[in-house]
Amino acid sequence: MFFRVSKEGRPVIKRIRYVFSETFAILGFAAYSRAFNRPDYAQKAYDLLLKVEGYLNTPGVLVPKFETASIGFGLPMILLNTVQELRAALPDRVVEFNARIDGYLEQIKTHFVRPELQIVVEQCNPDGSLQLDHFEGRQLNPGHAIEGAWFILNEARYRNNDPDLMNLGTTMLDWMWSKGWDAEMGGIIYFRDALGRSATEYWHDMKFWWPQCEATIANLMAYSMTGKESYLTQFDTVHQYIKGHFIDREFGEWYGYLHRDGSLSTPLKGNMYKGPFHIPRMYLVCCQLLDELRR
């Protein structure tokens, strides 16, 4: 798929090392099929999943980002969520989808969740060994890991509050909230270094909109499942930060990018990355969780 097209539909950019555009399309097709009773869109989503798997399993189709072989947390994490949504749209394939999900969960648990450092890494070697000798291998993305945590908690909910998955999801949330929350100035910080060294990206200490969204969902979901007041406190803490810094009270919507101190980096509210995804999903999922808690 093309990542960007002109308003006339003319192709502009195709990112040939990623399949994230395709996975987001699958999410959209699957949700649309359920909302409007369109089984043809569920089939379209499934067909696209098979294409994505073909891209990932055929050497040379995707251009690797690094010369040294590495595997990233992002793929099993987004595929977990993608197949969860597709499973809801195609329940007759539940056994097939559950097998895929089991594989993604195992890869996340054995490769990226690292008890020895109490972190969730973004990349590692294919054999699971860490890459602590360079910036990319030590780079932590707390918002990304917290997003993955609630995907796992959601799977635990689907499996009747599976205790092992609940433990995995809450452990990931606990570790990466500790790493990501800026105790001095508030908000989830963008990047951290696994060993506490200097982060290399120049925006490492900024506050982007989407990690706050994912932390909001994860903490409310963890509270709804465990009843632990600490998660409710963290939910309220990040929610108050959002209300105090990201929402434009005069003209509506959210700003996307803040400096570490919470001041506005740019008044931009939409670009190629900040679209109508994380924010409405946060409100939708949290409303559903709150409705459940009221019952």
Q: How far apart are CA 184 and CA 95, in angstroms?
A: 47
Of 110, 148, 143, the closest CA to residue 129 belongs to 110
In a domain, 206, yes or no: yes
Q: How far apart are CA 204 and CA 198, in angstroms?
A: 9
pLDDT in tens, the chain (295 residues): 888 899 999 989 887 778 999 999 999 999 999 999 999 999 999 999 999 999 998 887 887 776 668 999 999 999 999 999 999 999 999 999 999 999 999 999 999 999 999 999 999 999 999 999 999 999 999 999 999 999 999 999 999 999 999 999 999 999 999 999 999 999 999 999 999 999 989 999 999 999 999 999 999 999 999 999 999 999 999 999 999 999 999 999 999 999 999 999 999 999 999 999 999 999 999 999 999 999 9
Q: How far apart are CA 198 and CA 211, in angstroms?
A: 20
Helix (H, G, I), strand (E, B) or coil at 228: coil
Q: How far apart are CA 252 and CA 269, in angstroms?
A: 10
Residue 116 is inside which H or E element, if any? none
> Terminus-to-terminus CA distance in the chain, angstroms?
43
In a domain, 166, yes or no: yes
Burial 210-224, CB ≥16 within 10 A → b, else e: bbbbbbbbbbbbbbb
Tokens representing 158? 């689907």
State residue 66's pLDDT score. Answer: 66
String of DSSP letters for 253-295: SB--EE-TTS-BS-----SSSS-SSHHHHHHHHHHHHHHHHH-
State residue 267's pLDDT score. Answer: 96
In a domain, 108, yes or no: yes
Cα 235 to the chain's mean position, in Å?
17
State residue 63's pLDDT score. Answer: 78
Tokens representing 39? 């089984």
Where in the sequence is the domain holding 236, given as residue range(s)? Answer: 66-294
Are the CB atoms for 188 and 182 separated by under 8 Å?
yes
In a domain, 61, yes or no: no
State residue 94's pLDDT score. Answer: 98
**R_g over Cα of the chain:** 19
Helix (H, G, I), strand (E, B) or coil at 38: coil
pTM: 0.96
Total count of domains within the chain: 1
Whats the size of the chain, residue-wise? 295
Q: How far apart are CA 291 and CA 272, in angstroms?
A: 33
State residue 3's pLDDT score. Answer: 87
In a domain, 28, yes or no: no
Contacts of 130 (CB under 8 A, 6+ apart): 114, 121, 124, 137, 194
Are the CB atoms for 32 and 43 separated by under 8 Å?
no
Q: How far apart are CA 101 and CA 156, in angstroms?
A: 12
Alpha-carbon torsion 126, 129, 130, 134, what sign? negative
In a domain, 99, yes or no: yes
In a domain, 32, yes or no: no
In a domain, 24, yes or no: no
Q: Which amino acid is at 185?
A: M
Given phi > 0 = left and psi -120 to 50 = alpha, else beta, which region is 68? beta
CATH number at residue 71: 1.50.10.10
Q: How far is CA 280 from CA 67, 159, 213, 258, in A?
A: 37, 25, 9, 20
Cα 110 to the chain's mean position, in Å?
18
